[in-house]
Amino acid sequence: MGSCIICGKSVEGRICDLHEEDALFEFRGSRADQLSVDRYYRGSVDGFAEFGVFVDIGDSVTGLLHRSELDQRLDSLDWDSGDTVYVQVKNVRDNGNVDLGWSIRQSEREFRGVLVDDPDIGHSVLLENEDDEDEVQSDDGSGEVESESTADESTSQDDDSGTSQSESESSTSAGAVSRASDDDRVEGTAAVGGNDSGSNTAVMTESDEKADAESDEQTDEATAAEPVAAAIGDLDDHVGADVRLEGEVVGIRQTSGPTVFELQDETGTVDCAAFVEAGVRAYPEVEEDDYVRLSGEVRERRGELQVETEELDVLEAEEREEVEQRLADALDDEARPDTVEPLADDTAVGALSEDLVEAATQIRKAVLTDRPVIVRHANTADGYLAGSALERAALPLVTEQHRRADAKYHYFDRRPIEGGVYDMDDATKDTTTMLDNRERHEEKLPLFVFVAAGGTRESLDGFDLLNVYGAPSVVIDDIDVDGAVVDTVDAVVSASADTVSETTSTALAANVAAHVNEDVRGDLGHLPAVSFWEDIPEPYVEAASEAGYDETAVSELREAVALEAHYQSYEDKRELITDLVFGDDEEDVGGLAGHIAEQFREKVDEEVSTARANLDHRTVGDVDIAVLDTDAFTHQYEFPPESLLLDELHRDVRDESDAVLGISTDTMYVRANGDLDLHELVSEVSERVPEGGVATRSVREGTIRYLAGERPAVLDATLDVLADEL
């Protein structure tokens, strides 16, 4: 039996089933059928085709990474022939063809172990000298590691620090000498404090042995000196000295040699290597997210600093709170944006300056701490425009933070939702995905940013589920956000009751985006104007004009986004929306918005004309209410959706009718001239039809749900209540 190099569990070989997907394999076979499905392999780019990328796995096998497996467009890959890449084997066909999958991890460092996949010897730890086949340490199932080229040397030579021949033989036979790949491990030479044997066992390369021999020649006084309290950002000034650090453990990697703790304080991050025995977990009581005090010697390895851990203690109670608060305060200071001017002279936005800064701080903090940002927005023109504004601001920061080609897809995502309500269906999907990513990839729980969505009490159940797991959330909404929602989420940017009709979610989100990343401010000026269907505030008209968008361009863009928001409404359509909203594509997309807007107008005009001809005007007292049977006189599931159609119809007949009702089997859409509290309306109707199951579906869309069998009674009650309200 051997031990899993990641968790230490007894296994046949060197990796357990649970952690096999966390390990990288170097293929040493000669045939495709020797590959193992679902493993991740190092490969090299062999060539490109219209349908994907050919990748060499080892020296004798080539597989296809089909473009459908990529998380970005094929032409956006920055790979060249011969580049080292990392892929997953999805399938090996009977004819020898190999289907490959995308790996979000594109460096060895991001895997938690590196093994050789050699059909002749099984799993083996990958050595530094990959060209020297004699140095591949095979696992024969007994858990002992052998090295053919180094065993004889270790028994015939003393090391520079005076290790005896017998000690060297003992160390080798016990499997204590082990090496990991260059990128996957940090070399450790310090013994873990409290080792039962009382000995200091080390993992060394020859260069390390020489460095340690020189270190042993230091004076006794220096050796006995107390560690110096230091910040990680200042470790350059302490190379060769013993330091004491305090911070949060943000990552743990078990290599074939030491355990590597990634320690973060308010000034930076550093790898700290602790060694007890080759491939054995040091300080097993320490977990990620623990706050610790660590002492050790600062060394430089391969051009990077690391700390050789001598002592490590988990902080508890007040000590933990003190360090945790210090790091949190420092992060807030770093993430908090410098105050920037609003995009335009908008009184509704001007009154929210502190809220804008707080929301921007939450987003910037997520990026700085490698926390994914998930933007949940309504599947409407306003929702897509608002979401794309935040996307425009965050993606450059994500790319700068991670410097990985796929980071912008992995650490930022937009997910449209229907009706602006974050219900249990949406929350369950999000929770399942985030827990899966945490379990499989040790990913932090994401920051959820709700835009043009989540502001009403209908979303509380969804928020409650997120809060069970402690996922942070921000709401940016152009309605007066419900007080219960305000108490549930971490930050809110909300229109006041007096300014609801004067702003849009896009206007609010674009101003948040300008605070998130001031460098994209010039890209956002036209978005607020585009989001207003009528009565665009003059400051935003001017801002759009300065950005090169006249009245026609603004109208066409609004209609084009509204049309595309309807189709594939649960997809972000990132590249298409970017082309429409920002015109980024290298191809000629100047006429794209105009072309799509023509389709919008044709479809909407036809539906409005049909609907208008079939309105049933009801007069209740002095109030005229136009009623449309949407089951009978609209094309269901086609564009325009009922909510947009009722908006257009209401604008078309508002001079002759005080309200418009769209009624289907079990859903009613309410549009009224003037202010209307939908919750109060529903409460009144429910009292009059107690058996009707009347409930608010979406305040944002003005929709009510009821039992189909009570439709006539619900309609009559609604007409009466509306007449009283209007």
What does the alpha-carbon distance between residue 643 and residue 650 come to, in Å, rounded to a whole number?
11
pLDDT band at 125 (very low <50, low <70, confident <90, very high): low
Q: What is the pLDDT of residues 462-472, one digit of tens each?
A: 999 999 999 99
Q: What is the pLDDT of residues 634-654, one digit of tens each?
A: 988 899 999 999 999 999 999
- What are the residues whose beta carbons fall under 8 Å from the beta carbon of 485, sequence distance 6 or more? 454, 455, 456, 457, 459, 460, 463, 475, 492
pLDDT at 405: 65
* Comma-separated ranges of CATH 2.40.50.140 domains in the chain: 2-173, 206-318
Whose tokens are 């009059």? That residue is 688
Of 158 and 443, the structure prediction assigns the larger pLDDT to: 443
Please compute the mean of the pLDDT values over residues 661-685 and round it to a whole number. 93
3-state SS, 6-35, equals CCCCEECCCCCCCCHHHEEEEECCCCHHHC
* Comma-separated ranges of CATH 3.90.1640 domains in the chain: 336-598
Whose tokens are 């942070």? That residue is 472
Q: What is the pLDDT of residues 541-570, one digit of tens each?
A: 999 999 999 999 999 999 999 999 999 999
**Rounded to 5 degrees, what are φ and ψ at 251?**
-165, 145
At position 481, the amino acid (one-letter code) is V
Q: What is the pLDDT of residues 4-53, one digit of tens each?
A: 777 777 777 777 877 778 888 899 888 999 998 989 999 999 888 777 88
pLDDT at 126: 52
What does the alpha-carbon distance between residue 328 and residue 501 come to, in Å, rounded to a whole number?
38
| Fold of the 336-598 domain | inorganic pyrophosphatase (n-terminal core) (3.90.1640)
| Fold of the 614-725 domain | Diaminopimelate Epimerase; Chain A, domain 1 (3.10.310)
Q: Tell me which CATH code domain 206-318 carries.
A: 2.40.50.140
Among residues 207, 110, 212, 226, the alpha carbon closest in space to that of 163 is found at 212
pLDDT at 52: 86
- What are the residues whose beta carbons fall under 8 Å from the beta carbon of 165, sequence distance 6 or more? 155, 156, 157, 158
Cα angle: 439, vertex 444, 448; to 5 degrees: 115
pLDDT band at 123 (very low <50, low <70, confident <90, very high): low
Let me know: does 489 contact 367? Beta carbons within 8 Å: no
pLDDT at 177: 30
pLDDT at 127: 45
Q: Tell me which CATH code domain 2-173 carries.
A: 2.40.50.140
pLDDT band at 514 (very low <50, low <70, confident <90, very high): very high
pLDDT at 700: 85
- What are the residues whose beta carbons fall under 8 Å from the beta carbon of 448, sequence distance 6 or more? 374, 376, 430, 466, 471, 472, 473, 474
What does the alpha-carbon distance between residue 684 and residue 720 come to, in Å, rounded to a whole number?
10
